Chains A and B, each alone.
Chain A
Amino acid sequence: MTHARPETGTGSAALRRLVVVGHGMVGHRLVEALDSRDADRQWQITVLAEEPRPAYDRVALSSCFDGADESALRLPEHDPGRVGLRLGDPACALDRAGRTVLTASGDRVPYDALVLATGSRPFVPPLPGATAPGCLVYRTLDDIAAIRAAADKSTTGRGVVVGGGLLGLEAANALRLLGLTTHVVEMAPHLMAVQLDEGGGALLGRMVGELGVTVHTGTGTQQVLTDPETGAASGVELTDGTFLETDLVVFAAGVRPRDELARDAGLEVGERGGVVVDETCRSVTDPRVWAVGEVACIEGRTLGLVAPGYAMAETVADRLLGGEAGFPGADTATQLKLLGVGVASFGDAHATTPGALEVVLNDPVAATYGKLVVSDDARTLLGGILVGDTSGYPLLRPLVGSALPADPATLLAPESAGGAGAGGGVAGLPDSAQICSCHAVTKGALTEAVTEQGCADVPALKSCTKAGTGCGSCVPALKHILEAAGVEQSKALCEHFDHSRAELFEIVAATGITTFSQLVAEHGRGRGCDVCKPAVAAILASRDSATHILDGERGSLQDTNDRHLANMQRNGTYSVVPRVPGGEITPARLIVLGEVARDFGLYTKITGGQRIDLLGARLEQLPAIWRRLTDAGFESGHAYGKAVRTVKSCVGSTWCRYGVQDSVGLAIELELRYRGLRAPHKLKAGVSGCARECAEARSKDFGIIATEQGWNLYVGGNGGFTPRHAELLACDLDHDTLVRTIDRFLMFYVRTADRLQRTAAWLEALEGGLDHLRAVVMDDSLGICAELDAAMERHVADYRDEWRGVLEDPAKLARFTSFVNAPDTPDPAISFAVEREQPVPVPGPVSLGMPQLPAADGAGAR
Chain B
Amino acid sequence: MKTPAPAGRKVTTMTATSTMNTTTTMTTSPTADWSAVCPLDALPVEQGRAALLPDGSAVALFRLHTGEVHAVGNLDPFSGAPVICHGIVGDRDGVPVVTGPLGKETFELATGRCLDAENVRLPVHDVRLTGPVIEVSTRRNTVETLVGGG
Interface residues of B (CB under 8 A from A): 36-38, 42-47, 49-52, 55-58, 61, 64-65, 73-75, 77-83, 86-94, 96-97, 99, 101-102, 104, 106, 112, 117, 119-123, 139-144
Q: Does B79 lie within 8 Å of A825, measured CB to CB?
A: no
User: Which 8 A-B pairs give the minimum distances between C-beta atoms?
Assistant: A572-B81, A859-B123, A560-B101, A529-B90, A530-B99, A556-B46, A829-B82, A820-B49
User: 9 new A-B pairs (CB below 8 Å) besides A527-B89, A529-B92, A861-B142?
Assistant: A526-B94, A527-B91, A530-B87, A530-B104, A532-B90, A820-B43, A846-B80, A847-B77, A860-B123
**Bound state CA distance, A858 and B73, in angstroms?**
13
Q: Does B49 lie within 8 Å of A568, measured CB to CB?
A: no
Q: How many residues of A contact B (CB 8 A)?
A: 53
Cβ contact of B80, chosen from A564, A847, A861, cutoff 8 A: A847
Q: Does A862 lie within 8 Å of B119, measured CB to CB?
A: yes
**Bound state CA distance, A21 and B92, in angstroms?**
63
**Bound state CA distance, A815 and B86, in angstroms?**
10
- Name the residue on A nearest B104 (C-beta): A530
Number of A-B contacts (CB under 8 A): 158
**Bound state CA distance, A448 and B77, in angstroms?**
36
- Name the residue on A nearest B82 (C-beta): A829
Q: Does A847 lie within 8 Å of B78, measured CB to CB?
A: yes
Q: Does B142 lie within 8 Å of A857, measured CB to CB?
A: yes
Interface residues of A (CB under 8 A from B): 495-496, 517, 526-530, 532-534, 553, 555-557, 559-560, 563-564, 568, 570-572, 814-815, 817-822, 825, 827-830, 844, 846-851, 853-862
Q: Does A820 lie within 8 Å of B38, measured CB to CB?
A: yes
Cβ contact of A829, chosen from B81, B119, B122, cutoff 8 A: B81
Given known pairs A529-B97, A563-B101, the reply for A860 and B52 (CB within 8 Å) is no
**Bound state CA distance, A660 and B16, in angstroms?**
71
Q: Does A827 lie within 8 Å of B57, measured CB to CB?
A: no
Q: Does B77 lie within 8 Å of A814, measured CB to CB?
A: no
Given known pairs A568-B102, A853-B75, A861-B142, the reply for A820 and B50 (CB within 8 Å) is yes
Contacts of B144 in A (CB 8 A): 858
Q: Does A821 lie within 8 Å of B80, measured CB to CB?
A: no
Q: Does B77 lie within 8 Å of A820, measured CB to CB?
A: no
Q: Does A860 lie within 8 Å of B50, measured CB to CB?
A: no
Q: Does A858 lie within 8 Å of B142, measured CB to CB?
A: yes
Q: Does B88 lie within 8 Å of A555, measured CB to CB?
A: no
Q: Does A822 lie within 8 Å of B52, measured CB to CB?
A: yes
Contacts of A534 in B (CB 8 A): 88
Q: How far is the CB of B99 from chain A (nearest CB, A)?
A: 4
Given known pairs A556-B46, A855-B55, the reply for A849 and B81 (CB within 8 Å) is no
Q: How far is the CB of A569 from chain B (nearest CB, A)?
A: 8
Q: Does A827 lie within 8 Å of B58, measured CB to CB?
A: yes
- Name the residue on B nearest A561 (C-beta): B101
- Sampled A-B contacts (18; CB under 8 Å): A527-B89, A529-B88, A532-B90, A556-B46, A556-B47, A571-B80, A814-B42, A819-B58, A820-B49, A821-B37, A822-B52, A827-B82, A846-B78, A849-B77, A849-B120, A851-B80, A857-B139, A857-B142
Cβ contact of B57, chosen from A530, A854, A861, cutoff 8 A: A854
Contacts of A861 in B (CB 8 A): 142-143
Q: Does A851 lie within 8 Å of B75, measured CB to CB?
A: yes
Cβ contact of B51, chosen from A559, A820, A830, cutoff 8 A: A820
Q: How far is the CB of A588 from chain B (nearest CB, A)?
A: 35
**Bound state CA distance, A847 and B103, in angstroms?**
12
Given known pairs A527-B65, A556-B44, the reply for A570 and B79 (CB within 8 Å) is yes
Q: Does B82 lie within 8 Å of A527, measured CB to CB?
A: no
Contacts of A827 in B (CB 8 A): 50, 58, 82
Contacts of B143 in A (CB 8 A): 861-862
**Bound state CA distance, A820 and B39, in angstroms?**
9
Given known pairs A568-B83, A857-B142, the reply for A527 and B96 (CB within 8 Å) is yes
Cβ contact of B89, chosen from A556, A846, A848, cutoff 8 A: A556
Given known pairs A529-B91, A571-B81, A820-B42, the reply for A560 and B51 (CB within 8 Å) is no
Q: Does B91 lie within 8 Å of A821, measured CB to CB?
A: no
**Bound state CA distance, A254 and B76, in angstroms?**
71
Contacts of A853 in B (CB 8 A): 57, 73, 75, 123
- Name the residue on B nearest A528 (C-beta): B90
Q: Does B51 lie within 8 Å of A495, measured CB to CB?
A: no
**Bound state CA distance, A857 and B57, in angstroms?**
13
Q: Does A821 lie within 8 Å of B52, measured CB to CB?
A: yes
**Bound state CA distance, A830 and B83, in angstroms?**
10
Cβ contact of A819, chosen from B45, B47, B50, cutoff 8 A: B50
Q: How far is the CB of A856 from chain B (nearest CB, A)?
A: 8
**Bound state CA distance, A528 and B93, in angstroms?**
10
